[in-house]
Structure 1
Protein backbone atom coordinates (compact mmCIF):
# COMPACT_ATOMS: atom_id res chain seq x y z
CA UNK A 1 0.00 0.00 0.00
CA UNK A 2 1.40 3.37 -1.03
CA UNK A 3 1.98 5.73 1.86
CA UNK A 4 0.56 9.27 1.78
CA UNK A 5 3.13 11.90 2.71
CA UNK A 6 2.34 13.44 6.10
CA UNK A 7 2.21 16.94 4.56
CA UNK A 8 -0.67 16.02 2.23
CA UNK A 9 -2.47 14.14 5.00
CA UNK A 10 -2.38 17.18 7.29
CA UNK A 11 -3.48 19.43 4.41
CA UNK A 12 -6.50 17.15 3.76
CA UNK A 13 -7.54 17.13 7.44
CA UNK A 14 -7.19 20.89 7.70
CA UNK A 15 -9.28 21.38 4.55
CA UNK A 16 -12.15 19.17 5.80
CA UNK A 17 -12.41 20.78 9.22
CA UNK A 18 -12.02 24.35 7.99
CA UNK A 19 -14.61 24.11 5.19
CA UNK A 20 -17.31 21.99 6.84
CA UNK A 21 -18.50 24.60 9.41
CA UNK A 22 -18.95 27.17 6.63
CA UNK A 23 -21.11 24.79 4.63
CA UNK A 24 -23.22 23.92 7.67
CA UNK A 25 -23.76 27.58 8.50
CA UNK A 26 -24.92 28.28 4.97
CA UNK A 27 -27.25 25.26 4.97
CA UNK A 28 -28.86 26.29 8.27
CA UNK A 29 -29.61 29.86 7.14
CA UNK A 30 -33.32 30.53 6.61
CA UNK A 31 -34.61 32.59 3.71
CA UNK A 32 -38.26 33.38 2.99
CA UNK A 33 -39.44 34.89 -0.26
CA UNK A 34 -42.42 37.21 -0.06
CA UNK A 35 -44.64 39.07 -2.47
CA UNK A 36 -44.61 42.82 -2.08
CA UNK A 37 -46.99 43.29 -5.01
CA UNK A 38 -46.44 45.46 -8.04
CA UNK A 39 -44.24 48.42 -7.18
CA UNK A 40 -46.69 50.97 -8.58
CA UNK A 41 -49.56 50.46 -6.18
CA UNK A 42 -51.00 50.67 -2.68
CA UNK A 43 -49.30 53.72 -1.23
CA UNK A 44 -48.25 54.10 1.53
CA UNK A 45 -47.96 50.34 2.09
CA UNK A 46 -46.20 48.81 -0.91
CA UNK A 47 -44.78 52.14 -2.03
CA UNK A 48 -44.08 55.33 -0.13
CA UNK A 49 -45.91 58.62 -0.42
CA UNK A 50 -42.73 60.18 -1.81
CA UNK A 51 -39.91 58.73 -3.96
CA UNK A 52 -37.51 58.62 -0.99
CA UNK A 53 -39.83 56.43 1.09
CA UNK A 54 -39.68 52.62 0.87
CA UNK A 55 -43.25 51.96 1.99
CA UNK A 56 -44.62 50.58 5.25
CA UNK A 57 -44.37 46.89 4.31
CA UNK A 58 -40.73 47.14 3.26
CA UNK A 59 -39.85 48.85 6.53
CA UNK A 60 -41.78 46.25 8.52
CA UNK A 61 -39.91 43.40 6.83
CA UNK A 62 -36.57 44.96 7.76
CA UNK A 63 -37.62 45.03 11.43
CA UNK A 64 -39.06 41.50 11.42
CA UNK A 65 -35.87 40.25 9.77
CA UNK A 66 -33.78 41.97 12.44
CA UNK A 67 -35.71 40.41 15.33
CA UNK A 68 -36.23 36.92 13.86
CA UNK A 69 -32.87 36.01 12.27
CA UNK A 70 -34.79 35.11 9.09
CA UNK A 71 -33.61 36.49 5.77
CA UNK A 72 -36.41 37.94 3.63
CA UNK A 73 -36.26 38.42 -0.13
CA UNK A 74 -38.94 40.45 -1.93
CA UNK A 75 -40.50 39.89 -5.34
CA UNK A 76 -42.85 42.29 -7.12
CA UNK A 77 -45.44 40.29 -9.02
CA UNK A 78 -48.96 40.96 -10.28
CA UNK A 79 -51.64 39.67 -7.89
CA UNK A 80 -52.76 36.64 -9.92
CA UNK A 81 -49.20 35.47 -10.58
CA UNK A 82 -48.27 35.97 -6.93
CA UNK A 83 -51.27 33.99 -5.69
CA UNK A 84 -50.28 31.06 -7.94
CA UNK A 85 -46.69 31.30 -6.67
CA UNK A 86 -47.91 31.28 -3.06
CA UNK A 87 -50.02 28.16 -3.55
CA UNK A 88 -47.14 26.39 -5.29
CA UNK A 89 -44.64 27.41 -2.63
CA UNK A 90 -42.51 29.49 -5.00
CA UNK A 91 -43.23 32.49 -2.78
CA UNK A 92 -43.50 31.89 0.97
CA UNK A 93 -45.73 34.69 2.25
CA UNK A 94 -47.61 37.90 1.58
CA UNK A 95 -49.39 40.60 3.56
CA UNK A 96 -53.18 40.31 3.60
CA UNK A 97 -56.33 41.05 5.55
CA UNK A 98 -58.59 38.02 5.99
CA UNK A 99 -61.66 40.27 5.70
CA UNK A 100 -60.89 40.58 1.99
CA UNK A 101 -61.80 36.92 1.45
CA UNK A 102 -65.30 35.36 1.44
CA UNK A 103 -66.06 34.23 4.98
CA UNK A 104 -62.60 35.32 6.12
CA UNK A 105 -61.07 32.19 4.58
CA UNK A 106 -57.48 32.71 3.44
CA UNK A 107 -56.73 29.31 1.87
CA UNK A 108 -56.04 25.84 3.28
CA UNK A 109 -52.40 26.01 2.22
CA UNK A 110 -51.58 28.82 4.64
CA UNK A 111 -51.21 29.82 8.27
CA UNK A 112 -51.49 33.40 9.50
CA UNK A 113 -49.38 35.50 11.83
CA UNK A 114 -50.08 37.76 14.76
CA UNK A 115 -52.05 40.85 13.64
CA UNK A 116 -50.04 43.95 12.76
CA UNK A 117 -52.61 46.74 12.66
CA UNK A 118 -56.20 47.45 11.66
CA UNK A 119 -57.02 48.16 8.05
CA UNK A 120 -60.26 49.38 6.49
CA UNK A 121 -61.62 49.77 3.00
CA UNK A 122 -64.64 51.81 2.00
CA UNK A 123 -67.06 52.40 -0.78
CA UNK A 124 -65.77 55.77 -1.97
CA UNK A 125 -67.58 58.30 -4.10
CA UNK A 126 -67.29 61.96 -5.08
CA UNK A 127 -68.23 64.64 -2.61
CA UNK A 128 -71.98 65.13 -2.56
CA UNK A 129 -72.78 61.53 -3.55
CA UNK A 130 -72.29 59.83 -0.19
CA UNK A 131 -76.04 59.54 0.32
CA UNK A 132 -76.24 57.27 -2.72
CA UNK A 133 -74.21 54.55 -0.95
CA UNK A 134 -75.44 54.33 2.67
CA UNK A 135 -74.85 50.56 2.88
CA UNK A 136 -73.12 47.73 1.06
CA UNK A 137 -76.44 46.65 -0.40
CA UNK A 138 -76.58 49.95 -2.27
CA UNK A 139 -73.66 48.92 -4.52
CA UNK A 140 -75.06 45.50 -5.41
CA UNK A 141 -75.80 44.96 -9.11
CA UNK A 142 -74.00 48.24 -9.90
CA UNK A 143 -70.72 48.77 -11.79
CA UNK A 144 -68.11 49.46 -9.11
CA UNK A 145 -64.47 50.45 -9.60
CA UNK A 146 -62.02 47.78 -8.42
CA UNK A 147 -58.36 46.85 -8.94
CA UNK A 148 -57.53 43.97 -11.25
CA UNK A 149 -56.42 40.89 -9.30
CA UNK A 150 -57.48 42.24 -5.90
CA UNK A 151 -59.75 40.20 -3.63
CA UNK A 152 -63.23 41.46 -2.71
CA UNK A 153 -65.30 39.15 -0.51
CA UNK A 154 -68.59 40.11 -2.20
CA UNK A 155 -67.61 40.83 -5.81
CA UNK A 156 -70.25 38.41 -7.03
CA UNK A 157 -72.81 40.96 -5.81
CA UNK A 158 -71.71 43.83 -8.07
CA UNK A 159 -70.14 44.33 -11.50
CA UNK A 160 -66.38 44.78 -11.26
CA UNK A 161 -64.89 47.54 -13.36
CA UNK A 162 -61.18 46.76 -13.05
CA UNK A 163 -58.40 49.33 -13.16
CA UNK A 164 -54.65 48.81 -12.87
CA UNK A 165 -53.96 50.47 -9.51
CA UNK A 166 -55.18 52.87 -6.81
CA UNK A 167 -54.18 55.98 -8.74
CA UNK A 168 -56.20 54.86 -11.77
CA UNK A 169 -59.16 54.12 -9.51
CA UNK A 170 -59.29 57.65 -8.09
CA UNK A 171 -58.84 59.09 -11.59
CA UNK A 172 -61.79 57.02 -12.80
CA UNK A 173 -63.87 58.39 -9.93
CA UNK A 174 -62.76 61.98 -10.51
CA UNK A 175 -63.62 61.86 -14.21
CA UNK A 176 -66.91 60.07 -13.49
CA UNK A 177 -66.15 56.85 -15.32
CA UNK A 178 -67.72 55.12 -12.30
CA UNK A 179 -69.91 56.45 -9.50
CA UNK A 180 -68.18 54.53 -6.73
CA UNK A 181 -65.02 52.54 -6.07
CA UNK A 182 -63.82 50.22 -3.30
CA UNK A 183 -60.51 51.31 -1.86
CA UNK A 184 -58.42 51.11 1.30
CA UNK A 185 -58.71 54.24 3.44
CA UNK A 186 -55.09 55.45 3.44
CA UNK A 187 -54.57 54.82 -0.27
CA UNK A 188 -57.78 56.72 -1.05
CA UNK A 189 -56.66 59.69 1.08
CA UNK A 190 -53.25 59.75 -0.57
CA UNK A 191 -54.40 59.69 -4.18
CA UNK A 192 -57.31 62.05 -3.60
CA UNK A 193 -54.80 64.60 -2.31
CA UNK A 194 -52.35 64.05 -5.16
CA UNK A 195 -55.05 64.18 -7.84
CA UNK A 196 -57.06 66.92 -6.12
CA UNK A 197 -60.20 64.80 -6.16
CA UNK A 198 -62.93 65.65 -3.66
CA UNK A 199 -64.06 62.30 -2.30
CA UNK A 200 -66.18 60.97 0.54
CA UNK A 201 -66.04 57.68 2.41
CA UNK A 202 -69.47 56.07 2.14
CA UNK A 203 -70.31 52.57 3.40
CA UNK A 204 -67.60 50.57 5.14
CA UNK A 205 -66.72 47.64 2.87
CA UNK A 206 -64.39 45.61 5.10
CA UNK A 207 -62.41 45.94 8.30
CA UNK A 208 -59.83 43.61 9.80
CA UNK A 209 -56.15 43.27 10.64
CA UNK A 210 -53.22 43.28 8.27
CA UNK A 211 -51.07 40.21 8.88
CA UNK A 212 -48.70 37.78 7.23
CA UNK A 213 -50.09 34.79 5.32
CA UNK A 214 -47.41 32.09 5.33
CA UNK A 215 -47.30 28.93 3.24
CA UNK A 216 -47.79 25.88 5.49
CA UNK A 217 -44.58 24.36 4.13
CA UNK A 218 -42.71 27.07 6.07
CA UNK A 219 -44.93 27.18 9.15
CA UNK A 220 -41.99 26.19 11.38
CA UNK A 221 -40.86 29.82 10.93
CA UNK A 222 -44.15 31.23 12.25
CA UNK A 223 -43.16 31.34 15.96
CA UNK A 224 -40.10 33.44 15.12
CA UNK A 225 -42.18 35.76 12.94
CA UNK A 226 -44.83 36.13 15.64
CA UNK A 227 -42.22 36.85 18.30
CA UNK A 228 -40.72 39.55 16.08
CA UNK A 229 -44.14 41.12 15.44
CA UNK A 230 -44.89 41.19 19.18
CA UNK A 231 -41.55 42.82 19.82
CA UNK A 232 -41.94 45.63 17.28
CA UNK A 233 -45.39 46.35 18.71
CA UNK A 234 -44.24 46.29 22.34
CA UNK A 235 -41.20 48.49 21.71
CA UNK A 236 -43.21 51.06 19.76
CA UNK A 237 -41.29 50.48 16.53
CA UNK A 238 -44.45 49.63 14.61
CA UNK A 239 -46.15 52.81 15.80
CA UNK A 240 -43.11 54.85 14.76
CA UNK A 241 -43.40 53.53 11.20
CA UNK A 242 -47.14 54.18 11.01
CA UNK A 243 -46.70 57.69 12.40
CA UNK A 244 -43.95 58.35 9.86
CA UNK A 245 -46.44 57.64 7.06
CA UNK A 246 -49.27 59.49 8.87
CA UNK A 247 -51.46 56.38 8.97
CA UNK A 248 -54.62 56.51 11.08
CA UNK A 249 -55.11 53.04 12.55
CA UNK A 250 -55.13 50.88 15.68
CA UNK A 251 -52.49 48.42 16.79
CA UNK A 252 -53.81 45.37 18.65
Structure 2
Protein backbone atom coordinates (compact mmCIF):
# COMPACT_ATOMS: atom_id res chain seq x y z
CA UNK A 1 0.00 0.00 0.00
CA UNK A 2 1.38 3.41 -1.04
CA UNK A 3 1.91 6.10 1.58
CA UNK A 4 1.90 8.82 -1.09
CA UNK A 5 -0.85 11.35 -0.12
CA UNK A 6 -0.88 13.06 -3.53
CA UNK A 7 -3.67 10.93 -5.09
CA UNK A 8 -5.96 11.69 -2.13
CA UNK A 9 -5.13 15.41 -2.27
CA UNK A 10 -5.75 15.44 -6.03
CA UNK A 11 -9.09 13.65 -5.59
CA UNK A 12 -10.18 16.10 -2.90
CA UNK A 13 -9.18 18.99 -5.14
CA UNK A 14 -11.31 17.59 -7.98
CA UNK A 15 -14.31 17.21 -5.66
CA UNK A 16 -13.97 20.81 -4.44
CA UNK A 17 -13.58 22.06 -8.00
CA UNK A 18 -16.73 20.25 -9.13
CA UNK A 19 -18.68 21.51 -6.12
CA UNK A 20 -17.52 25.08 -6.79
CA UNK A 21 -18.61 24.85 -10.42
CA UNK A 22 -21.96 23.39 -9.38
CA UNK A 23 -22.61 26.27 -6.95
CA UNK A 24 -21.63 28.79 -9.63
CA UNK A 25 -23.94 27.17 -12.15
CA UNK A 26 -26.86 27.31 -9.72
CA UNK A 27 -26.47 31.03 -8.95
CA UNK A 28 -29.13 33.06 -10.76
CA UNK A 29 -27.97 35.77 -13.16
CA UNK A 30 -27.92 39.42 -12.14
CA UNK A 31 -30.00 41.24 -14.74
CA UNK A 32 -28.72 44.64 -15.85
CA UNK A 33 -31.22 47.30 -16.86
CA UNK A 34 -31.71 50.99 -17.51
CA UNK A 35 -34.74 53.27 -16.97
CA UNK A 36 -33.15 56.71 -16.89
CA UNK A 37 -34.60 57.89 -20.19
CA UNK A 38 -33.03 61.27 -20.94
CA UNK A 39 -32.02 61.80 -17.30
CA UNK A 40 -34.69 64.52 -17.01
CA UNK A 41 -37.57 62.07 -17.31
CA UNK A 42 -39.53 63.38 -14.31
CA UNK A 43 -41.62 61.85 -12.72
CA UNK A 44 -40.54 58.51 -14.18
CA UNK A 45 -36.88 59.06 -13.28
CA UNK A 46 -35.64 61.84 -10.97
CA UNK A 47 -31.89 61.20 -10.54
CA UNK A 48 -32.46 61.38 -6.78
CA UNK A 49 -31.22 58.36 -4.80
CA UNK A 50 -33.75 58.90 -2.00
CA UNK A 51 -36.74 59.27 -4.32
CA UNK A 52 -35.56 57.91 -7.68
CA UNK A 53 -38.86 58.10 -9.55
CA UNK A 54 -41.77 55.93 -10.62
CA UNK A 55 -39.85 53.47 -12.80
CA UNK A 56 -36.88 52.76 -10.49
CA UNK A 57 -39.22 52.14 -7.55
CA UNK A 58 -41.58 49.91 -9.51
CA UNK A 59 -38.78 47.87 -11.06
CA UNK A 60 -37.08 47.46 -7.68
CA UNK A 61 -40.32 46.15 -6.14
CA UNK A 62 -41.07 43.84 -9.09
CA UNK A 63 -37.61 42.29 -8.96
CA UNK A 64 -37.79 41.86 -5.19
CA UNK A 65 -41.17 40.12 -5.43
CA UNK A 66 -39.92 37.94 -8.29
CA UNK A 67 -36.74 37.08 -6.34
CA UNK A 68 -34.57 38.23 -9.24
CA UNK A 69 -31.29 40.04 -8.72
CA UNK A 70 -31.07 43.17 -10.84
CA UNK A 71 -28.63 46.06 -11.18
CA UNK A 72 -29.41 49.47 -12.64
CA UNK A 73 -26.85 50.76 -15.15
CA UNK A 74 -26.74 54.52 -15.81
CA UNK A 75 -26.88 55.10 -19.59
CA UNK A 76 -28.06 57.84 -21.94
CA UNK A 77 -31.12 56.93 -24.01
CA UNK A 78 -29.27 56.33 -27.27
CA UNK A 79 -26.77 53.99 -25.63
CA UNK A 80 -29.54 52.12 -23.79
CA UNK A 81 -31.07 51.03 -27.10
CA UNK A 82 -27.66 49.96 -28.46
CA UNK A 83 -26.65 48.11 -25.28
CA UNK A 84 -29.97 46.25 -25.11
CA UNK A 85 -29.63 45.03 -28.69
CA UNK A 86 -26.04 43.96 -28.08
CA UNK A 87 -26.92 42.17 -24.83
CA UNK A 88 -24.84 44.43 -22.58
CA UNK A 89 -28.02 45.06 -20.55
CA UNK A 90 -30.93 42.65 -20.14
CA UNK A 91 -34.06 44.80 -20.04
CA UNK A 92 -35.58 48.25 -20.17
CA UNK A 93 -39.13 49.63 -19.94
CA UNK A 94 -41.01 50.71 -23.04
CA UNK A 95 -44.42 51.13 -24.65
CA UNK A 96 -44.99 48.98 -27.73
CA UNK A 97 -46.85 51.94 -29.25
CA UNK A 98 -43.53 53.78 -29.57
CA UNK A 99 -42.07 51.08 -31.81
CA UNK A 100 -42.25 50.50 -35.54
CA UNK A 101 -43.96 47.31 -36.66
CA UNK A 102 -40.58 45.78 -37.49
CA UNK A 103 -39.20 46.50 -34.02
CA UNK A 104 -42.34 45.15 -32.34
CA UNK A 105 -41.66 41.79 -34.01
CA UNK A 106 -37.95 41.67 -33.14
CA UNK A 107 -37.33 38.09 -31.89
CA UNK A 108 -34.57 39.34 -29.56
CA UNK A 109 -37.18 40.54 -27.07
CA UNK A 110 -40.20 39.45 -25.08
CA UNK A 111 -42.53 41.70 -23.07
CA UNK A 112 -44.03 41.59 -19.61
CA UNK A 113 -47.60 42.32 -18.64
CA UNK A 114 -48.52 46.00 -18.50
CA UNK A 115 -47.24 48.23 -15.70
CA UNK A 116 -49.40 51.31 -16.35
CA UNK A 117 -50.75 53.46 -19.17
CA UNK A 118 -48.73 56.27 -20.72
CA UNK A 119 -49.90 59.13 -22.97
CA UNK A 120 -47.80 61.00 -25.50
CA UNK A 121 -48.99 64.15 -27.31
CA UNK A 122 -48.06 66.84 -29.74
CA UNK A 123 -47.24 69.72 -27.39
CA UNK A 124 -47.03 73.39 -28.29
CA UNK A 125 -47.39 76.81 -26.73
CA UNK A 126 -51.05 77.59 -26.10
CA UNK A 127 -50.92 80.34 -28.72
CA UNK A 128 -49.98 77.80 -31.42
CA UNK A 129 -51.76 74.64 -30.32
CA UNK A 130 -54.67 75.00 -32.77
CA UNK A 131 -52.16 74.21 -35.53
CA UNK A 132 -51.49 70.76 -34.08
CA UNK A 133 -54.86 69.21 -33.38
CA UNK A 134 -54.43 66.57 -36.10
CA UNK A 135 -51.53 64.14 -36.15
CA UNK A 136 -51.24 64.59 -39.91
CA UNK A 137 -50.21 68.22 -39.29
CA UNK A 138 -46.63 67.19 -38.46
CA UNK A 139 -46.05 65.53 -41.86
CA UNK A 140 -42.79 66.87 -43.32
CA UNK A 141 -42.60 69.44 -40.50
CA UNK A 142 -39.78 69.97 -37.95
CA UNK A 143 -40.79 68.34 -34.68
CA UNK A 144 -38.92 68.43 -31.38
CA UNK A 145 -37.85 64.97 -30.27
CA UNK A 146 -35.40 63.45 -27.78
CA UNK A 147 -32.13 61.97 -28.93
CA UNK A 148 -32.21 58.17 -28.62
CA UNK A 149 -35.98 57.88 -28.16
CA UNK A 150 -38.19 55.78 -30.42
CA UNK A 151 -40.92 57.43 -32.53
CA UNK A 152 -42.94 54.97 -34.61
CA UNK A 153 -43.63 57.54 -37.35
CA UNK A 154 -40.40 59.53 -37.48
CA UNK A 155 -40.07 58.86 -41.20
CA UNK A 156 -43.11 61.18 -41.67
CA UNK A 157 -41.66 64.29 -40.03
CA UNK A 158 -38.30 66.02 -39.58
CA UNK A 159 -36.76 65.10 -36.24
CA UNK A 160 -35.11 67.93 -34.36
CA UNK A 161 -33.36 66.13 -31.51
CA UNK A 162 -32.85 67.68 -28.09
CA UNK A 163 -31.20 65.99 -25.11
CA UNK A 164 -34.21 65.83 -22.76
CA UNK A 165 -37.83 66.63 -21.96
CA UNK A 166 -36.56 69.63 -20.04
CA UNK A 167 -34.85 71.02 -23.14
CA UNK A 168 -37.96 70.48 -25.28
CA UNK A 169 -40.01 72.72 -22.98
CA UNK A 170 -37.21 75.30 -22.94
CA UNK A 171 -37.14 75.22 -26.76
CA UNK A 172 -40.90 75.83 -26.89
CA UNK A 173 -40.63 78.72 -24.46
CA UNK A 174 -37.83 80.33 -26.49
CA UNK A 175 -39.75 79.63 -29.73
CA UNK A 176 -36.89 77.65 -31.20
CA UNK A 177 -39.45 75.12 -32.36
CA UNK A 178 -43.23 75.19 -32.58
CA UNK A 179 -44.23 71.61 -31.75
CA UNK A 180 -42.69 68.71 -29.83
CA UNK A 181 -43.68 65.16 -28.98
CA UNK A 182 -43.83 64.64 -25.22
CA UNK A 183 -45.27 62.37 -22.59
CA UNK A 184 -48.03 64.21 -20.73
CA UNK A 185 -46.55 64.10 -17.22
CA UNK A 186 -43.02 65.35 -18.02
CA UNK A 187 -44.58 68.05 -20.22
CA UNK A 188 -46.75 69.31 -17.36
CA UNK A 189 -43.91 69.09 -14.84
CA UNK A 190 -41.32 70.99 -16.89
CA UNK A 191 -43.87 73.55 -18.07
CA UNK A 192 -44.55 74.30 -14.40
CA UNK A 193 -40.83 74.56 -13.64
CA UNK A 194 -40.24 77.04 -16.49
CA UNK A 195 -43.57 78.86 -16.16
CA UNK A 196 -44.37 77.99 -19.77
CA UNK A 197 -47.95 78.16 -21.05
CA UNK A 198 -48.23 74.92 -23.02
CA UNK A 199 -51.20 72.98 -24.31
CA UNK A 200 -51.80 69.57 -25.84
CA UNK A 201 -52.61 68.89 -29.46
CA UNK A 202 -53.22 65.51 -31.08
CA UNK A 203 -52.54 62.29 -29.22
CA UNK A 204 -49.37 60.76 -30.64
CA UNK A 205 -49.49 57.44 -28.80
CA UNK A 206 -51.47 55.78 -26.02
CA UNK A 207 -50.11 52.54 -24.65
CA UNK A 208 -48.90 50.57 -21.68
CA UNK A 209 -45.39 50.54 -20.33
CA UNK A 210 -43.93 47.04 -20.20
CA UNK A 211 -40.63 45.45 -19.30
CA UNK A 212 -38.78 44.60 -22.52
CA UNK A 213 -36.65 41.57 -21.69
CA UNK A 214 -34.05 39.88 -23.84
CA UNK A 215 -35.47 36.58 -25.06
CA UNK A 216 -32.75 34.43 -23.48
CA UNK A 217 -34.31 35.27 -20.10
CA UNK A 218 -37.76 33.99 -21.11
CA UNK A 219 -37.85 31.55 -18.18
CA UNK A 220 -38.01 34.52 -15.80
CA UNK A 221 -41.07 36.10 -17.41
CA UNK A 222 -43.75 34.17 -15.43
CA UNK A 223 -42.15 35.28 -12.15
CA UNK A 224 -41.98 38.87 -13.37
CA UNK A 225 -45.64 38.86 -14.43
CA UNK A 226 -46.73 37.36 -11.10
CA UNK A 227 -44.80 40.10 -9.30
CA UNK A 228 -46.42 42.82 -11.43
CA UNK A 229 -49.86 41.40 -10.67
CA UNK A 230 -49.11 41.27 -6.93
CA UNK A 231 -47.89 44.87 -6.98
CA UNK A 232 -51.10 45.97 -8.71
CA UNK A 233 -53.46 43.94 -6.54
CA UNK A 234 -51.87 45.19 -3.32
CA UNK A 235 -52.25 48.83 -4.39
CA UNK A 236 -48.53 49.46 -4.06
CA UNK A 237 -48.08 50.24 -7.75
CA UNK A 238 -50.70 53.00 -7.63
CA UNK A 239 -49.16 54.31 -4.41
CA UNK A 240 -45.77 54.69 -6.11
CA UNK A 241 -47.32 56.55 -9.05
CA UNK A 242 -49.34 58.85 -6.77
CA UNK A 243 -46.24 59.64 -4.70
CA UNK A 244 -44.55 61.24 -7.70
CA UNK A 245 -47.53 62.75 -9.50
CA UNK A 246 -49.48 64.41 -6.66
CA UNK A 247 -47.68 67.75 -7.14
CA UNK A 248 -47.86 67.83 -10.93
CA UNK A 249 -50.61 70.26 -11.96
CA UNK A 250 -53.52 68.77 -13.92
CA UNK A 251 -54.00 69.80 -17.51
TM-score (norm 2): 0.87
Aligned residues: 243
1:128 aligned counterpart, secondary structure: coil
1:95 maps to which of 81, 93, 118: 93
Asked if 1:58 corresponds to 2:83, the answer is: no
Quote the Cα distance in structure 2 between the aligned partners of 1:205 and 1:144: 12
Quote the Cα distance in structure 2 between the aligned partners of 1:153 and 1:34: 23
Quote the Cα distance in structure 2 between the aligned partners of 1:227 and 1:23: 31
2:3 aligned residue: 3
Q: List aligned pairs for 1:101-250, cutoff 5 A.
A: 101-103=99-101, 105-106=103-104, 107-246=106-245
Gapped runs of 5+ residues in structure 2? none
State the 1:36 CA deviation: 2.2
Q: Does the 8 Å contact 1:39/1:76 carry over to 2?
A: no
2:245 aligned counterpart, secondary structure: coil
Quote the Cα distance in structure 2 between the aligned partners of 1:81 and 1:194: 28
Quote the Cα distance in structure 2 between the aligned partners of 1:205 and 1:221: 32
Quote the Cα distance in structure 2 between the aligned partners of 1:110 and 1:129: 40
State the 1:175 CA deviation: 0.4
1:68 aligned residue: 66
2:85 aligned counterpart, secondary structure: helix
1:67 aligned counterpart, secondary structure: helix
Alpha-carbon RMSD: 2.6
State the 1:77 CA deviation: 1.6
State the 1:108 CA deviation: 2.3
1:40 aligned counterpart, secondary structure: coil
State the 1:235 CA deviation: 0.8
Deviations 1:98-136 (A, max 9, x none): 000123843221010000100010000001222111110
Q: Does the 8 Å contact 1:89/1:217 carry over to 2?
A: no
Spell out structure 1 runs of 4+ moving beyond 3 A: 19-27
1:77 aligned residue: 75
TM-score (norm 1): 0.87
